[in-house]
Structure 1
Amino acid sequence: MRKVIVTEFISADGIAEVEKLTGVAWNAEMDRFKEDELADSGAMLLGRVTYQIFAASWPHETGDFADRFNALPKYVASTTLGQLDWKPAQRLEGPLPEAVRKLKQDTGGNIYVHGSISLAQQLLHHGLVDRIRLLGYPLAVGQGKAFFAPGEQQRFELLSAAPFSNGVVALEYAPIT
């Protein structure tokens, strides 16, 4: 069975709005973290906003990483998005929990949720997330969209933690059910 793995950039105070995570230089350790994710990935599951952001930029990127990233099947959780131009892509049909359970039963590599905070929160709420991979930035931003939904308590088992030389910490958790 495929796993659903949520991957996020997050501040020390739990904010996952990547545009607010400034002042930390990207480095080779972060490259390796993302390369490992891509090697493990068989598909992407994205919300509408993240799909639109990625579709506007990734097809114009070049290189081995971009080629592999662009070639991944993309599943989009949206009831309002029209045409899906960043191929291969398809819209999830039916209620989200059932559609994702069906995806998990398919063959292929793991399904990565990049960004897509609202989608990630829904998946966590329905118990559909198998792993959470975070790049924790050494800063507090004070306000913004929290990664974890307000009022929802969840427990996690720490699977790994690796500090990087730039102060970022790579964390991997499994939900405890």
Structure 2
Amino acid sequence: MGKIVISENVSLDGVVQDPTGEEGFGRGGWFSQVGDRDREAWAQVERDEALGAEALLLGRRSYEFFAARWPSRRGGWADRLNSLPKYVVSATLENPRWNNSTVLTGDVVTEVSKLKQGLNGDIVVYASGRLVHTLIEHDLVDELRLMIHPFVLGAGERLFGGTSDQKPMRLVDIRAVGDGLAFLTYQPVRDA
């Protein structure tokens, strides 16, 4: 059975909006404001995660962002992302261009539940805020991996939107990455 892993870059106050500054959000671009050592250490964590993944699961907007950038890149990390099976949740995407991509249409909860049953290993979700909210709300997330960036933005879309009930989590790992990043791993407490 597959394991849904949410992997997000977030500010200290939980903002995930426009980390690269390409969306026009006034406080965007925070991702590139860390030092070289932090970026190198972050990249190593991301490479390792990709090497351990069985598949990627993305919302349409995040899929289009990644599909516009990764196919032309080379190297171990890029080769791995480009070769992984990619599943994109969308009601509008018809012809995915990034190789090994499959569009999941219909009810998100049903489709992701089937995906979990059909795969073994980590199914990693990058970005995809609306999809992440849905997965958390319906208890489909098996692990949260949060790369915390040392910025308080004070505004912007947050990783955790409203939920119908509490979602207890257990911290299972914490480590410093580079000079200023923290990598936190949580798992849901299912029997709480």
Q: With structure 1 as the length reference, what TM-score do the two structures score? A: 0.94
Moved more, 1-10 or 18-27: 18-27
Greater displacement, 14-23 / 163-172: 14-23
Q: Does 1:62 align with 2:74?
A: yes
Q: Is this contact kept in 1: 2:42–2:178, CA < 8 A? A: no
- 1:173 matched to 2:186? The reply is yes
Distance 2:65 2:86 in 1: 13
**2:91–2:106 contact (8 Å) kept in structure 1:** no
Work out which of the residue numbers 107, 123, 128 in structure 2 matches 1:116. 128
Q: Tell me the equivalent position of 2:60.
A: 48
Q: Compared with structure 1, are the counterparts of its residues 163 and 69 closer, same or farther at alpha carbon in structure 2 (3 Å cutoff)?
A: same
> Which residue is equivalent to 2:104?
92
SS in 2 for 1:145: coil
Residue in structure 2 matched with residue 16 of structure 1 by the alignment: 16
* 1:89 Cα offset (Å): 0.6
Residue 9 of structure 2 contacts residue 146 of structure 2 at CA under 8 Å; is this kept in 1?
A: yes
Gaps of 5+ in 1: none
How many Å apart are 1:151 and its aligned residue? 5.3
- Alignment partner, residue 47 of structure 2: 35
Deviation at 1:171, TM superposition (A): 0.5
Aligned residue among 113, 117, 122 for 1:105: 117
What letter corresponds to residue 24 of structure 1 in structure 2? Answer: V
Q: What corresponds to 1:4 in structure 2?
A: 4
Moved more, 98-107 or 127-136: 98-107
Report the counterpart of residue 140 of structure 1 in structure 2. 152
Please tell me whether the aligned partners of residues 51 and 77 of structure 2 are also in contact (alpha carbons under 8 angstroms). Answer: no
Equivalenced residue count is 177
Of residues 119-128 and 143-152 in structure 1, the stretch that sits farther from structure 2 once superposed is: 143-152
Q: Deviations over 1:28-81 (max 9, x none)?
A: 321221122112201000001000111111111111210111111110100012
Q: How high is the sequence identity, in percent, across the aligned residues? A: 36
Q: Please name the residue that 1:74 is paired with.
A: 86
Task: Name the CA distance, whole Å, in 2 between partners of 1:126 and 1:154.
Answer: 10
**CA-CA distance at 1:83 after TM superposition:** 1.3
For structure 2, the residue ranges without an aligned partner over 5 or more in a row are: 21-27
SS of match in other structure, 1:154:
coil
1:160 is matched with which residue? 173
Q: Is the 8 A contact 1:24 1:166 kept in 2?
A: no
1:120 Cα deviation after fit: 0.6
TM-score, normalisation: structure 2: 0.87
What do the CA deviations read for 1:99-150 (whole angstroms, capped 9, x no partner)?
1111111134310000001101100000000000010011101111100013
